[in-house]
């Protein structure tokens, strides 16, 4: 009797739950595979769907690059998975990505995970479609015109010089990534949202911490309960919105329509009024938050990578300095003067350094789409309704047009870029109609930073080459501790 009771207890407490779990996993796999379109003869891509309902989201969040590298090595350039509550196909390689990026509105449409849409807002530029997208994009593009960029140059230069002076006073080291996020945040607040320096200093610490919390939880399970990632992200977002709303009200009261230059926030307010729709402060807050995210998080990531790569390649720093010396001898540049767009556009090698940095460490690893209809991609079917993630970092990694791709060689970009389909081997700003609207702003900002850094500083990476992670942008896990020293120009 005792053995029988023990066996029943063992069956109920151990074997039965295991069998139920295996049955649930099998049922999950069957249900997902049923998403296959029977009208399409092509098979689904290879891959696994993970645990019921959760899929492989936790592995991605916890392992990031390791998880993605393992998947690519096992399944190739196109594979299926289940992320953020949806069956998903991950795509890489120039030809495959080209079909996705040029298939906007025909094969696919932008659709970020539910957590991103909830936190940033479903009516932001990155989430809207059709005429609404074109209208919003037109307003934002005005803020990044060449004339506007020239107006931003002195502000960027002032903030960069102030940060470098502070770093030179630090002893024994600067945690570059943390400081870079503060620098790029101040620049974005001033240029994009028109905050005054005193306003930023008052709220900087709280705002930076809130942005950290919001960004950390952008890609989370879509469950809004106390202490969940989505809950924490929304709480941080609400604080940011409250500060932006104060500035919106101030701009509406001041009504600066007569000013020659208008920041992006003013242009968004004007566009909202012209659209004929009811004026929505909430919509403006969401648009401003998206601008801040795109305008400082990605540039902070790339500027940190610049410090890292140039700290490891002193010969590249010397070539940047030689290019500046040439412009100085031509009377186009003076270390003490305000930079101009004309000069920045002529710094070809400096631009190549930034391009090479973006090739190896693109700040945004990829983009999200949803299949509008079932279509074929390189012999596999992508079912209607499935999410599609195109990978920027993997596409750069597998591009055969870059010989010795593991080496940091800016001169590879000195040759004229190809205009055919192979241009999709290099997509740090995305492509197609959804290409990053702020890419020229980012290039100008990064060039100014690189010019000032190379002219005024020498630096040493105290921990050597760091381990890089993604969450959601690329960053060094040790925050890149660096020793800066003053450089006397020759």
Residues of each annotated binding site for heme:
436
Q: Is residue 394 within 8 Å of 335, Cβ to Cβ?
A: no
The one-character DSSP state at 295 is I
Q: What order of strands is seen across the sheet that includes strand 174-175?
A: 174-175, 481-486, 457-461
Instruction: State the Cα–Cα distance between residues 210 and 232, nearest whole angstrom.
Output: 10
| Whole-Å CA distances, 109 to 56, 96, 116 | 23, 16, 16
Q: Is residue 147 within 8 Å of 337, Cβ to Cβ?
A: no
Residue in this structure with the two tokens 């659209």, named with its chain if needed: 275
| Whole-Å CA distances, 228 to 61, 221, 405 | 14, 8, 40
Instruction: State the Cα–Cα distance between residues 200 and 327, nearest whole angstrom.
Output: 35
In sequence order, the 6+-apart residues with CB closer than 8 A to the CB of 137 are 125, 437
The radius of gyration of the chain from alpha carbons, rounded to an integer in Å, stands at: 25
In sequence order, the 6+-apart residues with CB closer than 8 A to the CB of 85 are 53, 55, 57, 113, 114, 221, 222
Output the DSSP codes for 29-47: HHHHHTTS-TT--SPPPSB
Binding residues: 436
Distance, CA of 89 to chain centre: 20
């Amino acid at each position: 009797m005792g053995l029988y009771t023990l066996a029943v207890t063992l069956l109920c407490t151990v074997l039965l739950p295991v069998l139920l779990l295996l049955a649930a996993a099998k049922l999950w796999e069957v249900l997902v595979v049923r998403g296959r379109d029977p009208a399409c003869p092509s098979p689904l891509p290879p891959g696994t769907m993970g645990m019921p309902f959760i899929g492989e989201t936790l592995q991605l969040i916890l392992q990031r690059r390791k998880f993605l590298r393992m998947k690519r090595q096992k399944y190739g350039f196109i594979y299926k998975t289940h992320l953020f509550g949806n069956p998903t196909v991950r795509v890489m390689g120039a030809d495959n990505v080209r079909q996705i990026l040029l298939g906007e509105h025909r094969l696919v449409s932008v659709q970020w995970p539910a957590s991103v849409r909830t936190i940033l807002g479903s009516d932001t530029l990155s989430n809207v479609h059709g005429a609404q997208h074109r209208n919003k994009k037109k307003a934002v593009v005005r803020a990044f015109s060449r004339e506007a960029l020239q107006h931003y140059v002195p502000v960027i230069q002032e903030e960069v010089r102030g940060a470098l002076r502070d770093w030179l006073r630090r002893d024994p080291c600067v945690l570059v990534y943390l400081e870079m996020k503060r620098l790029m945040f101040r620049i974005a607040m001033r240029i994009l949202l028109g905050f005054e320096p005193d306003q930023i200093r008052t709220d900087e610490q709280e705002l930076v911490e809130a942005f950290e919390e919001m960004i950390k939880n952008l890609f989370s399970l879509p469950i809004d309960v106390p202490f969940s990632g989505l809950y924490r992200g929304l709480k941080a977002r609400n604080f940011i919105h409250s500060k932006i709303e104060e500035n919106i009200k101030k701009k509406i009261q001041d009504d600066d329509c007569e000013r020659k230059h208008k920041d992006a926030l003013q242009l968004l307010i004007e566009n909202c009024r012209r659209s004929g729709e009811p004026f929505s402060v909430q919509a403006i807050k969401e648009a401003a938050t998206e601008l801040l995210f795109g305008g400082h998080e990605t540039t902070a990531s790339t500027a940190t990578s610049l410090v890292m790569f140039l700290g490891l390649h002193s010969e590249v720093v010397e070539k940047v300095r030689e290019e500046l010396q040439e412009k100085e001898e031509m009377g186009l540049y003076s270390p003490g003067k305000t930079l101009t767009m004309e000069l920045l556009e002529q710094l070809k090698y400096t631009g190549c350094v930034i391009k090479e940095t973006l090739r190896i460490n693109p700040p945004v690893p990829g983009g999200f789409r949803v299949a509008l209809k079932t279509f074929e991609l390189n012999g596999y079917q992508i079912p209607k309704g499935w999410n599609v993630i195109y990978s920027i970092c993997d596409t750069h990694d597998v591009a055969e047009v870059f010989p010795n791709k593991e080496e940091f060689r800016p001169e590879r970009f000195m040759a004229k870029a190809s205009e055919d389909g192979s241009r999709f081997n290099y997509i740090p700003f995305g492509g197609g109609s959804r290409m990053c609207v702020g890419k020229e702003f980012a290039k100008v900002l990064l060039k100014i930073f690189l010019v000032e850094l190379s002219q005024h500083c020498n630096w040493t990476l105290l921990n050597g080459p760091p381990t890089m992670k993604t969450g959601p942008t690329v960053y060094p896990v040790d925050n890149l501790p660096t020793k800066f020293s003053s450089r006397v120009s020759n």
